[in-house]
Amino acid sequence: MLVLVIMDTVVVVLLAGLVAGLLRSHADILRALHSLGAGVGDPSAPADPEVLTSDVTTAASPATPLHIGPPLPGERDSWSAHDIEGTDPGGDAVAVSVTHTAHLTLLAFLSSGCSTCAGFWAALGDADHGGLPTDVRAVVVTKGPELEIPAEVRRRAPPATTVVMSSGAWDDYEVPGSPFFVLVDGRTHRRMGEGVARQFSQVVDLVRRARADAEGPDRMPRPGAVPRPDGKAREALNDQELIAAGIHPGHASLYPESLDDVFSGTPDRPEGSRPAP
């Protein structure tokens, strides 16, 4: 009987020691989490200096920001914006100004291989740029030709949207991965916002809100304003009007030889003849 009592006492003492050790370990973990700003419970409790001895300031701070990657140069911060310099998918040189402009620029950091990006490529190729406000310029930025496949980028590039291949831009804007979006205000030369999205409609919604905040009601486009045709639309309209007037390619009136031909009506030359260069 005495032996049983002694064994029982030993077991109880061992279990008590085990529980005390577990509680101590749990407390150490909680203190460490507090010192990283991710703790639960009372965050005002000072961290145990024995837990994190590498940074004295973290011991006194209830929430220490976690930095990933190298520190930014002194002249930059997370709001600074940079012009984009690189090549287009055809290999020609392109520089896009996003600072010192009078408009907002939405930089869409996409890649040709990311499956999530496919919807964004398609949305930017829509006639209405996926519903993006017309006074916001969209620019697609992929990594440079050394890290991308130019032919794939060329295949996905929306015809009316500027596409720049520039690894330097990804570094400048510290892009963590694709897809990633940055909205820059060219008047203040600052980023208005940045982040990721799963659908382009989410990006458009955020852009609209940011623009409304920045510009106020006076700068919004007038309802019912009709844009003037330009570029290909204007060319097509001109062609329609000329054909309707009976002026086809090669018509003599298109090749005046003197001011008299211009101001006195159709020149006296047969259709299809053009002056020597």
Partner 1 sequence: MVTLEAHGIRARLPLGFEGRIFRRQTVHDEVPRPVAHFATVAIPPDASDFGGGLVTSLKSTDVFVVLFEYGPESVGRALFATEGLPRRLAADHFRPYTLRRGLGGQSGTQWFFTENGRPFTLYAVLGSHARRHSLVAPVNSLLHHLEVAPAAPGRSAIHR
Distances in Å between the alpha carbon of 273 and those of 1, 263, 266, 269?
A: 128, 19, 13, 7
Is residue 234 near partner 1 by the rule CB under 8 A? yes
Both structure tokens of 104: 């907002």
Rule CB under 8 A: is residue 80 a binding residue for partner 1? no
Quick check: 174 binds partner 1 (CB under 8 A)? Answer: no
Question: Would you tell me how many other CB atoms lie within 10 Å of the CB of residue 79?
Answer: 13
| 136-142/104-109 β-pairing | parallel
- CA torsion through residues 95, 97, 103, 107, sign: positive
Does position 96 bind partner 1 by CB under 8 A? yes
Q: Could you say whether residue 83 binds partner 1 (CB under 8 A)?
A: yes
**Interface pick for partner 1 out of 47, 163, 197, 207 (rule CB under 8 A):** 163
Please state the closest distance from residue 174 (CB atom) to partner 1, in A: 19
H/E run at residue 87 = strand 84-87
Check binding of 107 to partner 1 (CB under 8 A).
no
CA–CA dist 263, 221 (Å, integer):
41
At closest approach, how far in Å is the CB of 187 from partner 1? 11
What is the Cα–Cα distance from 180 to 123, expressed in whole angstroms?
15
- Please say which residue, 72 or 95, places its beta carbon nearer to partner 1: 95
215: contact with partner 1 by CB under 8 A: no
Stretch that binds partner 1, among 52-60, 92-100, 206-214, 246-254 (CB under 8 A): 92-100
Cβ 136 to partner 1 shortest distance, Å: 11
